Amino acid sequence: MKSDAAPATVRAYLDELRNALKGASPGLISDALADAEEHLQGEIAANPNKTEAEVLATAIETYGTPQEIAEEYRSMEAAIAGPFPKPEQKPQNHKGFFGVISDPRAYGALMFMLLALPTGIFYFVWAVVGISLTIPFFLFIFGIPFALLFLGSVRILSHVEGRIVEGLLGVRMPRRLPAQSTGETIWARIGEALADIRTWSSLLYLLLRLPLGIIYFTLGVVGIVLPIALIGGALFDLITGESHVHFSDVPWLNHLFHTAPGLVLLMTLGAFLVFVVLHMAKGIGWLHGHLAESLLVRL
């Protein structure tokens, strides 16, 4: 159903679309707003002799009202299948503590933790070098385009990170870059980027990825190596009949792990740690996904 009063400006149209999508994931809302803004701005640019209200009145007839577009985006999102449940859906019920072994979120988060250090180093170096060069370069004529390029690179890196977050952590992130303003001077574009809080939140995210990456990578490597060492070491000792586990300060414990039951217990402990690590990875993935969503999604 079409609304009684059509929006007279692009901003009013986007506000209505945002309200119509209330409750949807921020990534979906961001994509819908970017698509609508790009289409409507393109219509306005193609009809320079008409007012904004006249162009919108005609464009809405072919493009659709905010309510119709919101319904289409919700339908398209629901039709896309994937390994992770949608935010609007009830999460999959993995029964009990041991059900995490079949949860794809845990494995995706563990992979994200292992990739966090190299990507975090790259993001941090790029952000620090870019900031360090942008400030002094403003004294020269090439400082303005350099600043614009750097701010643009922050936006692109944030988009790339969003795709990684969605692919590995299952958090719906924007699948396209926000619409670019057209017909503005270079000073206006820089001013718009500097005034946009998401420019600074994205830059903050890139800087945070190094300390977080160190923590994630360390926990991920230890979480993988420790259970493998316990299970593999105990199994090797059982096969060879020799124990390489020594607790010289605790005689009874040292004796326990020199026996077959003790080595079986050690293997059991290693297997138990596998589930603990998967739960830890899933929790870290959930926390980081919401951090990325709050800092990177542009609404």
| pLDDT score for 242 | 73
- Residue 51 counted as domain residue: yes
- 35 Ramachandran zone, left/alpha/beta (phi>0; psi -120 to 50): alpha
- Residue 38 counted as domain residue: yes
Query: What's the CA gap between 299 and 105, in Å, rounded?
Result: 26
Tell me which residue range forms the domain holding 200.
117-209
Q: How many domains does the chain have?
A: 3
Residues 259 and 201 in one domain: no
Residues 191 and 201 in one domain: yes
Residues 65 and 127 in one domain: no
- Residue 2 counted as domain residue: no
Q: Which of 24, 26, 44 has the alpha carbon at shortest distance from 36?
A: 44
Alpha-carbon separation of residue 177 from 157, 162, 248 (angstroms): 11, 11, 60
Q: Give the residue from 79, 106, 136 where a domain finishes.
A: 79
Across residues 52-64, what is the average pLDDT?
A: 87
Give the tens place of pLDDT for each residue, 248-288: 666 666 666 677 888 888 889 999 999 999 999 999 999 99
CB 190 within 8 A of CB 199: no
Residues 163 and 223 in one domain: no
Q: Which of 162, 145, 169 has the alpha carbon at shortest distance from 294?
A: 162
Residues 131 and 195 in one domain: yes
Whether 130 has a pLDDT exceeding 80, the answer reads: yes
| Of 49 and 121, the one with more pLDDT | 121
This prediction's pTM:
0.82
Q: What's the mean per-residue pLDDT of the chain?
A: 85
Give the tens place of pLDDT for each residue, 87-118: 555 555 556 788 899 999 999 999 999 999 99
Whether 1 has a pLDDT exceeding 50, the answer reads: no
Least confident of 77-81, 96-100, 183-187, 244-248: 183-187
| pLDDT score for 234 | 82
| pLDDT score for 97 | 86
DSSP state of 102: G
Q: Give the residue from 27, 54, 79 where a domain finishes.
A: 79
Which residues lie closer than 8 Å to 289 by C-beta, 6 or more apart?
Answer: 165, 169, 170, 171
